[in-house]
Amino acid sequence: MRSFFFLENFSISIWLLQFLTTNSVIIHASLLFKYTSFYTSIKKEHCELSSQMVSIISANEFYNNKHYDVFLKLIDKHNPDITLTMDSDQNWEKALEVLEVGYKYNVKVSLDNT
């Protein structure tokens, strides 16, 4: 008796490995099929809200940096929808409290280390 790929020396372990490999190829091909040009996706209606832009300012303030006013001016100038600060310590948290008026949703995790 010959195995899937016509090997002369047949054993159950070879047959099992070939079976598992064939199943793996079939499963992966079926998962990847929707990313090929053969797959037709459903066209969605255009929504005006989905085309709106979101502006984000992300800044890494090193804890030694004490130029709070420069960063606040940058935020005031660009008026972003989302502001993200990293490496902010207690001093930065205190200096950025003035932003809570315009940004009512906020999460603060200030650490006094880098």
22-37 confidence digits (pLDDT tens): 999 999 999 999 888 8
What are residue 59's phi and psi, to 5 degrees? -135, 140
Token look-up 């016509």 returns 6
In Å, the largest CA–CA distance within the chain is: 81
With a CB cutoff of 8 Å and minimum separation 6, the contacts of 113 are: 63
What pLDDT shows up at residue 105? 86
Q: Could you give the count of Cα atoms lying within 13 Å of 89 in the half-sphere of its Cβ?
A: 10
Q: Is 110 in contact with 93 (CB distance < 8 Å)?
A: yes
* pLDDT beyond 80 at 112: no
Q: Which two tokens stand for residue 79?
A: 């008026």
75-102 average pLDDT score: 88
* pLDDT beyond 70 at 114: no
Name the residue ranges covered by the structural domains of the chain.
Answer: 1-43, 49-101
